[in-house]
Chain A
Amino acid sequence: MQYWRKPLDADKIQVPHGEIHIVRDRCKGCGFCVEYCPRDVLELSKQFNIKGYHPPEAVLPEACVHCQLCEMLCPEFAIFVTLREEVETIES
Protein backbone atom coordinates (compact mmCIF):
# COMPACT_ATOMS: atom_id res chain seq x y z
CA MET A 1 0.00 0.00 0.00
CA GLN A 2 1.28 3.48 -0.76
CA TYR A 3 1.41 6.19 1.89
CA TRP A 4 0.52 9.02 -0.43
CA ARG A 5 -0.88 9.36 -3.88
CA LYS A 6 1.54 10.30 -6.64
CA PRO A 7 2.54 13.97 -6.64
CA LEU A 8 0.00 16.07 -8.42
CA ASP A 9 0.85 17.57 -11.78
CA ALA A 10 1.55 21.26 -11.75
CA ASP A 11 -1.08 22.20 -14.31
CA LYS A 12 -3.37 19.21 -14.28
CA ILE A 13 -4.99 17.75 -11.24
CA GLN A 14 -5.77 14.10 -11.60
CA VAL A 15 -8.52 12.87 -9.38
CA PRO A 16 -8.54 9.10 -8.92
CA HIS A 17 -11.76 7.30 -8.16
CA GLY A 18 -12.14 4.46 -5.77
CA GLU A 19 -14.47 1.51 -5.74
CA ILE A 20 -15.55 0.78 -2.18
CA HIS A 21 -15.93 -2.76 -0.89
CA ILE A 22 -17.61 -3.39 2.44
CA VAL A 23 -17.49 -6.75 4.20
CA ARG A 24 -20.73 -6.05 6.00
CA ASP A 25 -20.80 -8.99 8.36
CA ARG A 26 -17.27 -8.35 9.59
CA CYS A 27 -18.01 -4.73 10.58
CA LYS A 28 -18.58 -3.73 14.21
CA GLY A 29 -20.17 -0.39 13.39
CA CYS A 30 -17.47 1.72 15.05
CA GLY A 31 -18.04 4.61 12.63
CA PHE A 32 -14.33 5.45 12.20
CA CYS A 33 -14.64 5.21 8.40
CA VAL A 34 -17.79 7.34 8.35
CA GLU A 35 -16.32 10.02 10.61
CA TYR A 36 -12.99 10.41 8.84
CA CYS A 37 -13.81 9.93 5.15
CA PRO A 38 -12.72 13.30 3.75
CA ARG A 39 -15.44 13.21 1.08
CA ASP A 40 -18.38 12.16 3.27
CA VAL A 41 -18.90 9.13 1.08
CA LEU A 42 -20.05 6.83 3.87
CA GLU A 43 -22.93 6.63 6.31
CA LEU A 44 -23.88 3.95 8.80
CA SER A 45 -26.80 2.09 7.29
CA LYS A 46 -30.09 1.48 9.04
CA GLN A 47 -29.82 -2.24 8.49
CA PHE A 48 -28.21 -4.61 10.94
CA ASN A 49 -25.53 -7.06 10.00
CA ILE A 50 -25.30 -10.61 11.28
CA LYS A 51 -23.68 -9.40 14.53
CA GLY A 52 -26.29 -6.71 15.16
CA TYR A 53 -24.11 -3.76 14.16
CA HIS A 54 -24.90 -1.13 11.55
CA PRO A 55 -22.28 -1.41 8.80
CA PRO A 56 -21.52 1.60 6.61
CA GLU A 57 -22.88 2.08 3.14
CA ALA A 58 -21.58 4.32 0.40
CA VAL A 59 -24.12 7.09 -0.05
CA LEU A 60 -21.91 9.13 -2.39
CA PRO A 61 -19.81 6.45 -4.08
CA GLU A 62 -18.91 8.74 -6.99
CA ALA A 63 -17.17 11.14 -4.63
CA CYS A 64 -14.64 8.58 -3.41
CA VAL A 65 -11.06 9.63 -4.20
CA HIS A 66 -9.35 6.34 -3.27
CA CYS A 67 -7.49 7.89 -0.35
CA GLN A 68 -7.85 4.59 1.55
CA LEU A 69 -8.26 6.36 4.87
CA CYS A 70 -11.30 4.22 5.65
CA GLU A 71 -9.32 1.07 4.87
CA MET A 72 -6.45 2.01 7.17
CA LEU A 73 -8.65 3.20 10.02
CA CYS A 74 -10.98 0.22 10.04
CA PRO A 75 -10.13 -1.96 13.05
CA GLU A 76 -12.00 -4.92 11.55
CA PHE A 77 -10.51 -5.25 8.03
CA ALA A 78 -14.09 -4.74 6.89
CA ILE A 79 -13.74 -2.00 4.27
CA PHE A 80 -11.30 -1.52 1.43
CA VAL A 81 -11.09 0.48 -1.72
CA THR A 82 -9.71 -0.42 -5.12
CA LEU A 83 -8.68 2.05 -7.79
CA ARG A 84 -11.14 2.52 -10.62
CA GLU A 85 -9.76 2.74 -14.11
CA GLU A 86 -11.09 6.06 -15.29
CA VAL A 87 -9.29 9.13 -14.00
CA GLU A 88 -10.91 12.51 -14.12
CA THR A 89 -8.58 15.31 -15.17
CA ILE A 90 -9.32 18.85 -14.09
CA GLU A 91 -7.52 21.61 -15.93
CA SER A 92 -6.63 24.48 -13.65
Chain B
Amino acid sequence: MSKQNNNLPEHPMERLLRMDRIPHIWCSTCGIGTAVSCFISALEKFEYPMDKVAIVSGIGCTGRVAGYIKLDSFHSTHGRAIPFATGLKLANPELKVIVISGDGDLSAIGGNHLIHAARRNMDITVICVNNFIYAMTGGQSAPTTPLTANSSTAPYGNSDPPFNLPLLVGSCGATYVARWTALHIRRLTKSMHEALNKKGFSFIEVIAPCSTLYARRNRLGTGLDLMKFYHDNSEIKHGAPLEELDINFQQKIIVGKFIDKEKPTFVDNWNNWLSQKLGSKFVPYGVAKA
Protein backbone atom coordinates (compact mmCIF):
# COMPACT_ATOMS: atom_id res chain seq x y z
CA MET B 1 0.00 0.00 0.00
CA SER B 2 1.16 3.49 -0.54
CA LYS B 3 0.83 6.04 2.17
CA GLN B 4 1.22 9.69 1.41
CA ASN B 5 2.18 12.51 3.71
CA ASN B 6 0.90 12.81 7.31
CA ASN B 7 2.17 10.47 9.97
CA LEU B 8 4.92 9.22 7.75
CA PRO B 9 7.46 7.06 9.46
CA GLU B 10 10.85 8.73 9.36
CA HIS B 11 12.90 8.15 6.22
CA PRO B 12 15.61 5.69 7.30
CA MET B 13 18.37 8.01 6.06
CA GLU B 14 17.22 10.91 8.23
CA ARG B 15 19.36 9.63 11.08
CA LEU B 16 22.47 10.64 9.14
CA LEU B 17 21.12 13.79 7.50
CA ARG B 18 20.86 17.32 8.82
CA MET B 19 17.15 17.52 8.21
CA ASP B 20 16.96 21.24 8.98
CA ARG B 21 18.90 21.74 5.72
CA ILE B 22 16.78 19.41 3.60
CA PRO B 23 15.52 19.94 0.88
CA HIS B 24 19.02 20.37 -0.47
CA ILE B 25 20.00 22.85 -3.17
CA TRP B 26 20.60 20.36 -5.98
CA CYS B 27 18.53 20.70 -9.14
CA SER B 28 15.86 18.26 -10.18
CA THR B 29 17.48 15.22 -11.87
CA CYS B 30 20.94 16.11 -10.55
CA GLY B 31 22.78 12.91 -9.61
CA ILE B 32 24.63 14.14 -6.52
CA GLY B 33 21.74 13.28 -4.21
CA THR B 34 21.74 9.69 -5.45
CA ALA B 35 25.47 9.44 -4.72
CA VAL B 36 24.73 10.70 -1.21
CA SER B 37 21.97 8.07 -0.75
CA CYS B 38 24.48 5.40 -1.67
CA PHE B 39 27.06 6.88 0.67
CA ILE B 40 24.61 6.92 3.58
CA SER B 41 23.72 3.29 2.89
CA ALA B 42 27.42 2.43 2.92
CA LEU B 43 27.87 4.32 6.19
CA GLU B 44 25.01 2.36 7.73
CA LYS B 45 26.85 -0.86 6.96
CA PHE B 46 30.19 0.49 8.13
CA GLU B 47 30.96 -0.92 11.54
CA TYR B 48 32.74 2.01 13.07
CA PRO B 49 31.65 4.49 15.71
CA MET B 50 29.95 7.28 13.79
CA ASP B 51 31.43 9.89 16.13
CA LYS B 52 34.82 8.91 14.73
CA VAL B 53 33.83 9.49 11.11
CA ALA B 54 34.45 12.89 9.54
CA ILE B 55 33.36 14.22 6.16
CA VAL B 56 35.25 16.94 4.31
CA SER B 57 34.15 18.70 1.13
CA GLY B 58 35.58 21.44 -1.03
CA ILE B 59 33.58 23.99 -2.99
CA GLY B 60 31.00 23.34 -5.67
CA CYS B 61 27.68 21.58 -6.01
CA THR B 62 29.18 18.37 -4.58
CA GLY B 63 30.97 20.51 -2.02
CA ARG B 64 27.63 20.93 -0.30
CA VAL B 65 27.58 17.30 0.79
CA ALA B 66 29.53 17.93 4.00
CA GLY B 67 26.80 20.31 5.09
CA TYR B 68 24.01 17.76 4.68
CA ILE B 69 25.49 14.77 6.47
CA LYS B 70 24.92 14.68 10.21
CA LEU B 71 28.44 13.76 11.22
CA ASP B 72 31.44 15.87 12.05
CA SER B 73 32.01 17.65 8.78
CA PHE B 74 33.88 20.53 7.26
CA HIS B 75 33.20 22.55 4.13
CA SER B 76 36.70 23.66 3.21
CA THR B 77 37.92 26.25 0.72
CA HIS B 78 38.12 25.51 -3.00
CA GLY B 79 40.37 22.55 -3.74
CA ARG B 80 41.54 22.15 -0.17
CA ALA B 81 39.39 19.27 1.00
CA ILE B 82 42.28 16.79 0.82
CA PRO B 83 44.81 18.89 2.76
CA PHE B 84 42.19 19.55 5.42
CA ALA B 85 41.36 15.84 5.58
CA THR B 86 45.07 14.99 5.77
CA GLY B 87 45.45 17.30 8.75
CA LEU B 88 42.44 15.77 10.48
CA LYS B 89 43.69 12.25 9.93
CA LEU B 90 47.21 12.99 11.12
CA ALA B 91 46.10 14.95 14.16
CA ASN B 92 43.69 12.20 15.16
CA PRO B 93 44.61 8.89 13.51
CA GLU B 94 41.57 7.19 15.03
CA LEU B 95 39.28 9.11 12.70
CA LYS B 96 37.96 7.68 9.47
CA VAL B 97 38.13 10.68 7.15
CA ILE B 98 36.16 10.83 3.93
CA VAL B 99 36.44 13.52 1.30
CA ILE B 100 33.41 14.01 -0.94
CA SER B 101 33.82 16.63 -3.59
CA GLY B 102 33.49 17.33 -7.28
CA ASP B 103 35.77 16.79 -10.25
CA GLY B 104 36.66 20.45 -10.61
CA ASP B 105 37.44 20.88 -6.95
CA LEU B 106 39.48 17.68 -6.58
CA SER B 107 41.25 17.36 -9.90
CA ALA B 108 41.82 20.96 -10.98
CA ILE B 109 42.05 23.39 -8.13
CA GLY B 110 43.00 20.60 -5.71
CA GLY B 111 44.81 18.51 -8.33
CA ASN B 112 48.19 18.62 -6.64
CA HIS B 113 46.74 17.61 -3.30
CA LEU B 114 45.02 14.68 -4.98
CA ILE B 115 48.16 13.27 -6.58
CA HIS B 116 50.32 13.72 -3.52
CA ALA B 117 47.80 12.21 -1.12
CA ALA B 118 47.67 9.19 -3.45
CA ARG B 119 51.47 9.09 -3.76
CA ARG B 120 51.98 9.16 0.00
CA ASN B 121 49.13 6.71 0.52
CA MET B 122 47.38 8.96 2.97
CA ASP B 123 44.81 6.87 4.83
CA ILE B 124 41.65 8.64 3.62
CA THR B 125 38.76 7.84 1.29
CA VAL B 126 38.08 10.22 -1.59
CA ILE B 127 34.72 10.14 -3.38
CA CYS B 128 34.82 12.27 -6.49
CA VAL B 129 31.48 13.06 -8.09
CA ASN B 130 32.34 13.70 -11.72
CA ASN B 131 29.72 15.57 -13.71
CA PHE B 132 32.23 16.73 -16.35
CA ILE B 133 31.87 20.44 -15.64
CA TYR B 134 32.22 23.23 -13.09
CA ALA B 135 28.57 23.38 -12.20
CA MET B 136 28.12 25.81 -9.35
CA THR B 137 30.20 28.54 -10.95
CA GLY B 138 28.32 28.48 -14.24
CA GLY B 139 29.34 25.54 -16.40
CA GLN B 140 32.98 26.25 -17.20
CA SER B 141 35.26 23.53 -18.60
CA ALA B 142 36.85 21.30 -15.98
CA PRO B 143 39.85 19.01 -16.50
CA THR B 144 37.27 16.23 -16.86
CA THR B 145 35.17 17.83 -19.62
CA PRO B 146 35.22 15.36 -22.53
CA LEU B 147 36.71 16.45 -25.85
CA THR B 148 34.18 18.32 -28.03
CA ALA B 149 31.69 18.79 -25.16
CA ASN B 150 30.26 22.27 -24.80
CA SER B 151 30.84 24.40 -21.73
CA SER B 152 30.48 28.09 -20.99
CA THR B 153 34.23 28.55 -21.58
CA ALA B 154 34.18 26.31 -24.65
CA PRO B 155 31.13 27.44 -26.61
CA TYR B 156 32.43 25.72 -29.77
CA GLY B 157 33.31 22.56 -27.87
CA ASN B 158 36.23 21.61 -25.66
CA SER B 159 39.58 21.04 -27.38
CA ASP B 160 41.57 19.89 -24.30
CA PRO B 161 41.94 16.19 -23.59
CA PRO B 162 40.45 15.40 -20.15
CA PHE B 163 41.93 13.53 -17.22
CA ASN B 164 41.31 9.85 -16.87
CA LEU B 165 40.89 10.00 -13.08
CA PRO B 166 41.38 6.30 -12.26
CA LEU B 167 44.60 6.34 -14.30
CA LEU B 168 45.74 9.52 -12.58
CA VAL B 169 45.29 8.32 -9.00
CA GLY B 170 46.20 4.72 -9.83
CA SER B 171 49.55 5.71 -11.29
CA CYS B 172 50.22 7.83 -8.21
CA GLY B 173 49.78 4.79 -6.01
CA ALA B 174 46.16 4.69 -4.74
CA THR B 175 45.34 1.38 -3.01
CA TYR B 176 41.69 1.24 -4.10
CA VAL B 177 40.27 2.68 -7.29
CA ALA B 178 36.74 2.20 -8.63
CA ARG B 179 34.38 4.01 -10.97
CA TRP B 180 30.60 3.73 -11.12
CA THR B 181 27.80 5.88 -12.45
CA ALA B 182 24.99 7.23 -10.28
CA LEU B 183 22.78 4.54 -11.78
CA HIS B 184 24.91 1.67 -10.39
CA ILE B 185 23.47 2.18 -6.92
CA ARG B 186 24.17 -1.25 -5.46
CA ARG B 187 27.65 -1.61 -6.87
CA LEU B 188 28.51 1.95 -5.93
CA THR B 189 27.30 1.37 -2.37
CA LYS B 190 29.35 -1.82 -2.16
CA SER B 191 32.45 -0.01 -3.43
CA MET B 192 31.93 2.79 -0.94
CA HIS B 193 31.68 0.24 1.84
CA GLU B 194 34.88 -1.47 0.67
CA ALA B 195 36.66 1.87 0.43
CA LEU B 196 35.58 2.78 3.97
CA ASN B 197 37.14 -0.43 5.22
CA LYS B 198 40.31 0.05 3.20
CA LYS B 199 43.55 1.12 4.78
CA GLY B 200 45.30 3.67 2.60
CA PHE B 201 44.23 6.05 -0.13
CA SER B 202 40.96 4.85 -1.65
CA PHE B 203 39.32 6.64 -4.55
CA ILE B 204 35.89 6.27 -6.11
CA GLU B 205 34.82 8.20 -9.15
CA VAL B 206 31.03 8.58 -9.44
CA ILE B 207 29.86 9.68 -12.88
CA ALA B 208 26.70 11.68 -12.21
CA PRO B 209 24.37 13.84 -14.25
CA CYS B 210 24.44 17.62 -14.04
CA SER B 211 21.16 18.47 -15.66
CA THR B 212 21.25 22.23 -15.46
CA LEU B 213 24.65 22.91 -17.00
CA TYR B 214 26.26 19.89 -18.62
CA ALA B 215 23.14 18.24 -19.99
CA ARG B 216 21.43 21.46 -20.98
CA ARG B 217 24.45 23.04 -22.68
CA ASN B 218 25.10 19.83 -24.58
CA ARG B 219 21.45 19.29 -25.47
CA LEU B 220 21.40 15.91 -23.78
CA GLY B 221 18.01 16.30 -22.14
CA THR B 222 17.62 15.94 -18.38
CA GLY B 223 19.52 14.00 -15.76
CA LEU B 224 17.06 11.18 -16.33
CA ASP B 225 18.16 11.03 -19.98
CA LEU B 226 21.77 10.82 -18.79
CA MET B 227 20.82 7.98 -16.43
CA LYS B 228 19.30 6.18 -19.43
CA PHE B 229 22.50 6.88 -21.34
CA TYR B 230 24.54 5.29 -18.53
CA HIS B 231 22.21 2.34 -18.55
CA ASP B 232 22.80 1.72 -22.26
CA ASN B 233 26.45 2.70 -22.45
CA SER B 234 28.31 1.56 -19.38
CA GLU B 235 30.31 -1.59 -19.38
CA ILE B 236 31.45 -3.31 -16.18
CA LYS B 237 35.06 -4.41 -16.50
CA HIS B 238 36.68 -5.13 -13.15
CA GLY B 239 40.45 -4.86 -13.25
CA ALA B 240 40.42 -3.13 -16.65
CA PRO B 241 43.81 -1.61 -17.56
CA LEU B 242 43.69 2.00 -16.38
CA GLU B 243 44.83 3.31 -19.78
CA GLU B 244 41.56 2.08 -21.26
CA LEU B 245 39.38 4.18 -18.98
CA ASP B 246 39.32 7.41 -20.99
CA ILE B 247 35.90 8.98 -21.26
CA ASN B 248 34.86 10.39 -24.61
CA PHE B 249 31.84 12.56 -25.27
CA GLN B 250 28.68 10.44 -25.14
CA GLN B 251 30.59 7.22 -25.65
CA LYS B 252 30.96 4.02 -23.71
CA ILE B 253 31.89 4.42 -20.04
CA ILE B 254 33.90 1.60 -18.50
CA VAL B 255 33.03 1.10 -14.83
CA GLY B 256 34.18 -1.34 -12.17
CA LYS B 257 36.79 -1.86 -9.52
CA PHE B 258 40.22 -1.42 -11.01
CA ILE B 259 42.66 -1.51 -8.08
CA ASP B 260 42.39 -3.11 -4.64
CA LYS B 261 45.77 -3.71 -3.02
CA GLU B 262 47.59 -3.42 0.29
CA LYS B 263 50.45 -1.02 0.85
CA PRO B 264 51.98 0.74 3.87
CA THR B 265 50.33 4.10 4.51
CA PHE B 266 52.01 7.44 5.08
CA VAL B 267 52.04 6.85 8.85
CA ASP B 268 53.33 3.26 8.47
CA ASN B 269 56.20 4.48 6.34
CA TRP B 270 57.02 7.23 8.77
CA ASN B 271 56.99 4.86 11.74
CA ASN B 272 58.99 2.15 9.98
CA TRP B 273 61.64 4.47 8.70
CA LEU B 274 62.17 6.39 11.92
CA SER B 275 62.21 3.29 14.10
CA GLN B 276 64.92 1.91 11.80
CA LYS B 277 66.88 5.13 12.08
CA LEU B 278 66.31 5.97 15.74
CA GLY B 279 65.61 2.57 17.26
CA SER B 280 64.05 2.58 20.72
CA LYS B 281 64.38 6.33 21.00
CA PHE B 282 61.52 6.64 18.52
CA VAL B 283 57.92 6.58 19.70
CA PRO B 284 55.73 5.38 16.83
CA TYR B 285 52.94 7.77 15.93
CA GLY B 286 49.27 6.93 15.98
CA VAL B 287 49.68 3.37 17.26
CA ALA B 288 47.27 2.45 20.04
CA LYS B 289 49.20 1.68 23.24
CA ALA B 290 48.87 -1.93 24.33
Given the contacts A21-B9, A72-B41, A28 and B28 also touching, CB distance less than 8 Å? yes
A6 to B11, alpha carbons, bound, how many Å?
A: 22
Mask, A62-74, CB within 8 Å of B = 1, is: 1000000101111
- Cβ of A40 under 8 Å from chain B: no
- Cβ of B17 under 8 Å from chain A: yes
Would A75 and B9 count as touching, CB distance under 8 A? no
- List B contacts of A28 (CB < 8 A): 23, 27-29
- Cβ of B1 under 8 Å from chain A: yes
Q: Nearest Cβ in chain A — how far from B241, in angstroms?
A: 28
List the count of A-B residue pairs having beta carbons below 8 Å apart. 103
Mask, B27-56, CB within 8 Å of A = 1, is: 111111110111001001100000000000
- List A contacts of B12 (CB < 8 A): 1, 71, 80
- Interface residues of A, count at CB 8 A: 36
Main secondary structure of the interface of A (DSSP, over half): mixed
B158-215 contacts to A (CB < 8 Å): 183, 185-186, 189-190
Q: Nearest Cβ in chain A — how far from B141, in angstroms?
A: 25
- Cβ of B2 under 8 Å from chain A: yes
Query: Of B8, B27, B33, B189, which contacts A74 at CB under 8 A?
Result: B33
Given the contacts A35-B227, A53-B28, A72 and B189 also touching, CB distance less than 8 Å? yes
B5-33 contacts to A (CB < 8 Å): 5, 8-9, 11-14, 17, 22-24, 26-33
A47-92 contacts to B (CB < 8 Å): 51, 53, 57-58, 61-62, 69, 71-78, 80, 82, 84
- Interface residues of B, count at CB 8 A: 40
Mask, A4-33, CB within 8 Å of B = 1, is: 100000000000000111111110111110
Query: Of A1, A36, A53, which contacts B41 at CB under 8 A?
Result: A1
- List A contacts of B5 (CB < 8 A): 22-25
Would A20 and B3 count as touching, CB distance under 8 A? yes
- List B contacts of A23 (CB < 8 A): 5, 8, 11
Would A69 and B23 count as touching, CB distance under 8 A? no
Q: Nearest Cβ in chain A — how far from B153, in angstroms?
A: 27
Would A32 and B44 count as touching, CB distance under 8 A? no
Q: A-contacting residues of B (Cβ < 8 Å)?
A: 1-5, 8-9, 11-14, 17, 22-24, 26-34, 36-38, 41, 44-45, 183, 185-186, 189-190, 222-224, 227-228
A-B contact pairs, 30 of them (CB 8 A): A1-B44, A4-B186, A20-B3, A24-B4, A24-B5, A25-B5, A26-B22, A26-B23, A28-B28, A30-B28, A30-B29, A30-B222, A31-B29, A32-B29, A36-B183, A53-B28, A57-B2, A57-B4, A58-B2, A61-B1, A62-B1, A69-B185, A72-B37, A74-B33, A74-B37, A75-B26, A75-B34, A76-B24, A76-B33, A77-B14
Q: B-contacting residues of A (Cβ < 8 Å)?
A: 1, 3-4, 19-26, 28-32, 35-36, 51, 53, 57-58, 61-62, 69, 71-78, 80, 82, 84
